[in-house]
Each structure stands twice: as C-alpha cells, then as structure tokens.
Amino acid sequence: MQTPQSDVYQRALARERNARKEAERILEAKSTELYHLTQALTQSNAKLEVLLQEKKSELSGLIHHILDPYILVDLDGNIIKLNKAAVELFDYDNLIKKAGKVNLIHLVSPEDRMRLSTAFMDMVEDGYIKEIEVKITAADGTVRDLQINASVLYDNNNNPTAAQGIARDITALKQLEAQKDKLYEKLESQNEELNEYAHVVSHDLKSPLRSVNALIQWIKTDDKNVFDPSMDQYFGMIDKSVKKMENLISDILRYSKSEVDYSEETLVNVGDLISEVQEHIDVPANISIVIESQMPTVQVQKGKLEQVIQNLMTNAIKFTPQADGLITWKYKSVDGKHQFAIRDNGIGIEEKYFDKIFKVFQSLKASEHSTGIGLSIVKKVLISMGGEIWLQSTLGKGTTFYFTLPQS
C-alpha cells in the first residue's frame, strides 16, 4: 500500500504547523502567566518600596532630631553619617573639610583613644557596648564628658556591616558628682574637726575646774579656823557652780558626739529595749512604768535608739514628782511609720516652751523649764535616724512625747 509522497508531506507539514501553533499557544499562555506574575511582583515591590521609604524617612527623621549625638560608622570606625547634634558637637563640617575622611578615634581626646579603640573592638566582637565614657573637645573648645552606647549592624546573612552609637553629654552630671563628692569630703572633715574641737575644748575647760575644786578644798581644810558660816555657804555655792559647769561641758561633748555612731543596724525589739533601759536607770519608788501596746521590732543602730529611750525616760521621771507617778509607753503604725509615745502624769510644760526645749543653747541656760541637753540630743539622734519628735502637754496634768521611725 503506497501512499502518494505529496500526501505524506502535506500531512507532515500540517502536523508541524499544528505543533507550531500548539507550541505558540502554550508559550503565549506561559508568557501571559509570566506577565501577570511580573505585574503582581511589580506591584508588591512598589508597595514594599513605599513602605521602606516611609520607614527610612521616619528613622532618619528620628535620628536627625534626637538631641543626643548619633554616629554611624563602618567597621574601621570611619564616619558614615551623623545627626545634627553630632555635626554641631564635633564641628564635623569643618573636620571633613580639612581631612576628607574622619575616624571616630579622632573625635575623642588623645588620652582616651586607646580605650575607645579597645571598646570598639569589644563591640565588634560582642555586638554592643554600654556606657563607655570618653572625653572630647567640643567645637566650642570646651572639654566634655560623653557616655556612649553603641551596637553593631548586620546584613541579611548576619555579617557585621557597620556600627551605630549614641553619645550622651554627661559633663554637667560629672561635674555635679565631683562637686558632691568634694562637698561630702569637706563636710566629713569639718565634722571630724568639730568633734576634735569639742573634745579639746571640753578637756581644756575641765582642767581649770579641777584646779578650782582642789583649791577650795585646801582653803576649807587649811584655814578651817578662820571660816565663818557664811563663807562656808559661799564656798558651797562655788562648789555647786563648778559641778554645774562640769556637767554642761560633759553635755556639750555628749551632744557633739551623739550622731557619731557608725555601728551596724540590727533588729531590735523596742519593748525589750525599754525594759533594758529601765533596769539601768534609777526608777524612783513613786514611778510606775507601763508598756501598754505591743512594741514592734525595728532595724536600727541599737545605741542610738537606746539613747533616745533613756533620755525620754529620765526626762519623764525628772518631771513627775508626785506619789502616783505613771509613765506609759504606747505604739502604733501611722502612715507607714513607727510611732511611739511616752506619757507621764507629771508637771507638764507650757506650750510656749515646746520648741525651746529641743534647742541646745536654750536648754543649756539654767531655767526652771530647762530639761538639760537631753532632749536636744534626742531630737538630733532621731533626725539622723530619719525620725521626728514632738509633744503634747498640759500644765499640771502631764506630757506626752511622740517620736517616729521609718518602717524600713
């Protein structure tokens, strides 16, 4: 069966044509598909571009307007970008005009360069550095202290590409700190001097008193026969004055030392401490002492609180002369503070003296309202402990002293 040659060719040709059309159709469909895909990609690309641009300008606006100097450098420390604050601080425009390229290291004082480059290497290694302090000479010629926080920037493959840092001008802070330290040192040495002074003064004041006392004794014994009773009385008065003087000197010494206690704070049960103090002082038979409330345990320097309690107790006893003398301790917690009260039913104090009794030079003067220097010491010690003291009193009925201590 022989097919005519031309028919075979025609059919082959037709098949080829069809195949070509089929191929074109397929390619067309593919290219349409590709076109749509490209369209979609272009669109999302454009969206991303807009987003990126937005973020970029947000970021650069942010960086530009940050008040602290911001610097972007490459991994060799060459400056890539600065914000306005940095340009002004370092007079960057001038530097770049002179040198063409500026390295971070040239911004800081020569003595800090080694330290900065070490810190920079640490940063490249660890990814960041915190609170590195360097000195720089600013555009206006002043030397400034900067505190730098910086971090490494990485690309998509996590390779370090650059570093950014923000510097804070802490010059004023540093100066204040230095001033504070100086002041504190001065205060401390003054305090020391004052204590020393009080000590020497009291020593020097006491010596002549001893002499006076001895001399009086000698006169009294050696010239016994020529004495008349009135002279004896005068000598007694001299004796008393000398003793009073001695007490005043001791009080001043005590006052000047009252805050100087650097012992550790311990937990102290106030009730136990009151009982302890009570045993050490002479409580006359006419006085009953009652602790009415449950007393707290406080964290204090025990010696100081002891001094407070002892002075207040002695004071209360001194001004409660009647037969049924009663001293009461009370406690409550008020506004986050420990508040203690010691009440007596003694002679009371007139309100006009309420302030005076805490003043050291007021109470030193001999007066019937004087309670000695004890209360000034109490006030001084309490203030040093972060506490307060005040009183209520009615003449003839008694006095209540209140004092507070902070609750840790």
Partner 1 sequence: MKGIVFTEFLELVESKFGLEMVDQIITQSELVSGGSYTSIGTYEFGEMLQLISNLSKNTEVSTDDLLLAYGEHFFNVIETSYPQMLAMYQGPIEMLASIENHIHVEVKKIYHDAELPTFTIIEQTENTLSMIYQSSRSMHMFGLGLMNRTFKHFNAAAEIRHEKLKDDGTEVQFSIKMI
Partner 2 sequence: MNAKKGLRVLVIEDDKIENLKFGRVVANLDVLHQVTFVNDGDEAIDLLMSKDTTLPQLIVLDLNMPRLDGFEFLKMLKSTEYLKYIPVVILTTSENKKEIKTCYELGIAGYLVKPLDYNIYVSKIESLLKYWSLNELLSS
- List residues near partner 2 by CB under 8 A: 199-200, 203-204, 206-207, 209-211, 213-218, 242-243, 246
The stretch among 23-31, 99-107, 194-202, 218-226 that binds partner 1 (CB under 8 A) is 23-31
Comparing CB distances to partner 2, the nearer of 124 and 219 is: 219
Residue 22 CB, shortest distance to partner 1, in Å, is 5
Cα distance between residue 380 and residue 259, in whole Å: 7
Answer yes or no whether residue 12 interacts with partner 1 by CB under 8 A: yes
Answer yes or no whether residue 130 interacts with partner 1 by CB under 8 A: no
Answer yes or no whether residue 15 interacts with partner 1 by CB under 8 A: yes
Answer yes or no whether residue 26 interacts with partner 1 by CB under 8 A: yes
| 152: β partners | 163
Comparing CB distances to partner 1, the nearer of 6 and 408 is: 6
Rounded to 10 degrees, the C-alpha dihedral 352/355/359/362 comes to: -10
Comparing CB distances to partner 1, the nearer of 8 and 143 is: 8
User: Quick check: helix, strand or coil at residue 135?
Assistant: strand
Cα distance between residue 271 and residue 11, in whole Å: 122
Residue 140 CB, shortest distance to partner 2, in Å, is 52
The dihedral built from the CA positions of residue 92, 97, 102 and 108, taken in this order, carries a sign that is: negative
Pick from 6, 9, 219, 325: which binds partner 1 (CB under 8 A)? 9
What are the φ and ψ backbone dihedral angles of 266, each rounded to 5 degrees?
Answer: -130, 170
Cα distance between residue 163 and residue 152, in whole Å: 4
Cα distance between residue 347 and residue 325, in whole Å: 10
Cα distance between residue 80 and residue 71, in whole Å: 8
User: Quick check: helix, strand or coil at residue 194?
Assistant: helix
Cα distance between residue 259 and residue 386, in whole Å: 12
- Of partner 1, partner 2, none, which one does residue 254 interact with (CB within 5 to 8 Å by kind)? none
- Of partner 1, partner 2, none, which one does residue 211 interact with (CB within 5 to 8 Å by kind)? partner 2
User: Quick check: helix, strand or coil at residue 55?
Assistant: helix
The stretch among 16-24, 80-88, 90-98, 377-385 that binds partner 1 (CB under 8 A) is 16-24
- Of partner 2, partner 1, none, which one does residue 361 interact with (CB within 5 to 8 Å by kind)? none
Q: Give one DSSP letter per residue of 304-337, joined into a string.
A: HHHHHHHHHHHHHHHT--STTEEEEEEEEEETTE
Comparing CB distances to partner 1, the nearer of 16 and 292 is: 16
Cα distance between residue 295 and residue 338, in whole Å: 10
Answer yes or no whether residue 231 interacts with partner 1 by CB under 8 A: no
Answer yes or no whether residue 37 interacts with partner 1 by CB under 8 A: no
Answer yes or no whether residue 8 interacts with partner 1 by CB under 8 A: yes
- Of partner 2, partner 1, none, which one does residue 157 interact with (CB within 5 to 8 Å by kind)? none
Token match 């923000």: residue?
166
Answer yes or no whether residue 3 interacts with partner 1 by CB under 8 A: yes
The dihedral built from the CA positions of residue 316, 317, 323 and 326, taken in this order, carries a sign that is: positive
The dihedral built from the CA positions of residue 271, 274, 278 and 279, taken in this order, carries a sign that is: positive
Comparing CB distances to partner 2, the nearer of 209 and 326 is: 209
Comparing CB distances to partner 1, the nearer of 12 and 50 is: 12
Contact between residue 402 and residue 390 where contact means Cβ atoms under 8 Å apart: yes
- Of partner 1, partner 2, none, which one does residue 217 interact with (CB within 5 to 8 Å by kind)? partner 2
Comparing CB distances to partner 1, the nearer of 29 and 178 is: 29
Number of residues forming the site for partner 1 (CB under 8 A): 17
Residue 195 CB, shortest distance to partner 2, in Å, is 10
Q: Which residues here bind partner 1, judged by CB under 8 A?
A: 3, 5, 8-9, 11-12, 14-20, 22-23, 26-27
